[in-house]
């Protein structure tokens, strides 16, 4: 109780005004994990719930079980993060121990949160959906995608809100004011400008590739993806290009003090979300493309590998710019970020 009161005193609010909404959000985050975790545990145990006859998931049981085990641990991390963000002891954790997994969670959940609703909208207006594997067999029953992705969207909203509240209470002083209020020791150093320019240059290949694929080009795609393209594929590629562009723009704003009248939190939030989406989703696609390599048609092409690697590097560079700003601003205020 003493810890809770102390935390509330630092954030300028009473325990009753802050704890109840956070407890509700924590409960929502935990409950939204249960459908996905239940499905994964059932599949590991041998259940075929949601898996139709002929699915490729039934052909490689050991590999699928290992992959399911990994994803169970990943989704369980959402529950851990929800606890960290709502318990008094969570404020004593080192900054990196929380922000790194939150950045990864942001990168994996954001493309689903933004892409899945758009995919549903496009499908409602006549877009095509491909829920089959490379042999034309159903991959999963349609309801599974709704349950899983719906749960991910709720997780992202609950966890994102909790992190925003937590960050404002612990580090809110670091992003007060507007861009023009920041000194050149905080924004606009040579190292920042170099990193931002490097990110912009390295973003050209992945941005070009994603734009081409979103517009219907098959250049650089493997045969498997060419055969399985649908409106869902084009939505994913379009938003991948958008995230790369936003990450670069946010990095340039931080490095060259662009948009000086904007609150400094605007480029910071854009850099956080877009860098995570670009880096983590590119990494996820790279790993997924390497796992399924039974034939030459399924192997990633050089351009696909270049797009994935470029995305990871761009995302990390832009994230580094945001971290550099926070560290410099912390030093300027004389209070550590940890």
DSSP state of 54: T
What digits encode the pLDDT tens for the residues 190-229?
999 999 999 999 999 999 999 999 999 999 999 888 988 8
- Residue 76, CB half-sphere, CA atoms under 13 Å: how many? 9
Residue 137 has pLDDT above 70, yes or no: no
Task: Tell me what pLDDT residue 194 has.
Answer: 96
CA-wise closest residue to 134 among 303, 295, 18: 295
Stated pTM of the model: 0.89
| Higher pLDDT pick, 332 / 316 | 316
Q: Are 249 and 269 in contact (CB under 8 A)?
A: no
pLDDT mean over 293-303: 78
Residue 238 has pLDDT above 80, yes or no: yes
**Reported confidence tier of residue 16, pLDDT bands at 50, 70, 90:** very low
Query: How would DSSP label each residue in 136-200?
Result: S-B-S-HHHHHHHHHHHHHHHHHHHHHHHHHHHHHHGGGG-SBGGGS-TTTSS-HHHHHHHHHHH
Residue 3 has pLDDT above 50, yes or no: no
Q: Which of 22-36, 116-130, 243-257, 316-330 has the lowest mean pLDDT?
A: 116-130
> How far is the first Cα of the chain from the last one, in angstroms, to the nearest whole number?
23
**Reported confidence tier of residue 18, pLDDT bands at 50, 70, 90:** low
Taking CB atoms within 8 Å and a gap of at least 24, the contacts of 158-161 are 158/25, 158/26, 158/28, 158/29, 158/32, 158/82, 159/29, 159/78, 159/81, 159/82, 159/85, 159/102, 159/105, 159/109, 160/106, 160/109, 161/25
For residues 111 and 120, what is the distance between their CA atoms, to the nearest angstrom? 14
Task: Tell me what pLDDT residue 108 has.
Answer: 96
pLDDT mean over 7-28: 66
- The chain-wide mean pLDDT, for the chain, equals 88
Residue 4 has pLDDT above 60, yes or no: no
Percentage of the chain surpassing pLDDT 70?
88
Residue 322 has pLDDT above 70, yes or no: yes
**Token duo for residue 97:** 């121990």
What digits encode the pLDDT tens for the residues 306-316?
999 999 999 99
CB atoms within 10 A of CB 108: 19
Residue 162 has pLDDT above 50, yes or no: yes
Our CA dihedral for 283, 299, 222, 209, rounded to 10 degrees, sits at 30
Residue 11 has pLDDT above 70, yes or no: no
Q: Which of 241-245, 315-319, 325-329 has the lowest mean pLDDT?
A: 325-329
Q: Are 196 and 254 in contact (CB under 8 A)?
A: yes
For 228, list phi and psi in degrees, rounded to 5: -100, 5
**Reported confidence tier of residue 276, pLDDT bands at 50, 70, 90:** very high
| Higher pLDDT pick, 64 / 146 | 146
CB atoms within 10 A of CB 217: 12
For residues 312 and 11, what is the distance between their CA atoms, to the nearest angstrom? 35
Residue 2 has pLDDT above 70, yes or no: no
Q: Is the dihedral of CA 126, 132, 138, 140 positive or negative?
A: negative
What digits encode the pLDDT tens for the residues 83-118?
999 999 999 999 999 999 999 999 999 999 999 999
**Reported confidence tier of residue 81, pLDDT bands at 50, 70, 90:** very high
pLDDT mean over 63-85: 93
Q: Are 139 and 224 in contact (CB under 8 A)?
A: no
**Token duo for residue 304:** 């696909």
| Higher pLDDT pick, 259 / 319 | 319
């Amino acid at each position: 109780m003493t810890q809770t009161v102390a935390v509330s005193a630092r954030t300028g609010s009473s325990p009753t005004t802050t704890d109840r909404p956070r407890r509700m959000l924590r409960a929502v985050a935990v409950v939204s994990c249960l459908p996905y975790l239940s499905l994964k545990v059932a599949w590991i145990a041998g259940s075929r719930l949601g898996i139709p006859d002929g699915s490729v998931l039934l052909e490689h049981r050991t590999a699928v079980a290992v992959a399911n085990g990994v994803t169970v641990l990943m989704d369980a991390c959402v529950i851990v993060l929800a606890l960290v963000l709502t318990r008094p002891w969570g404020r004593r954790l080192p900054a990196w121990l929380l922000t790194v997994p939150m950045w990864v969670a942001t990168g994996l959940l954001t493309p689903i949160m933004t892409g899945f609703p758009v995919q549903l909208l496009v499908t409602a207006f006549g877009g095509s959906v491909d829920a089959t594997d490379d042999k034309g067999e159903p991959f999963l029953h349609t309801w599974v995608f709704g349950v899983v992705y719906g749960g991910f969207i709720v997780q992202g909203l609950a966890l994102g809100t909790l992190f925003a509240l937590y960050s404002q209470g612990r580090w809110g002083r670091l992003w007060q004011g507007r861009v023009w209020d920041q000194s050149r020791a905080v924004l606009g150093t040579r190292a920042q400008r170099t990193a931002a320019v490097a990110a912009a240059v390295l973003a050209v290949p992945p941005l070009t590739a994603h734009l081409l694929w979103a517009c219907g080009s098959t250049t650089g795609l493997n045969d498997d993806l060419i055969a399985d393209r649908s409106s869902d594929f084009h939505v994913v590629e379009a938003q991948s290009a958008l995230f790369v562009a936003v990450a670069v723009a946010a990095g340039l704003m931080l490095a060259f003090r662009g948009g000086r009248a904007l609150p400094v939190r605007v480029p910071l939030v854009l850099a956080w979300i877009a860098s995570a989406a670009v880096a983590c989703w590119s990494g996820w696609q790279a790993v997924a493309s390497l796992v399924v390599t039974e034939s030459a048609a399924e192997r990633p092409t050089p351009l696909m590998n270049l797009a994935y690697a470029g995305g990871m590097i761009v995302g990390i560079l832009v994230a580094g710019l945001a971290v550099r700003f926070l560290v410099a601003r912390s030093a300027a205020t004389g209070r550590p970020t940890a």
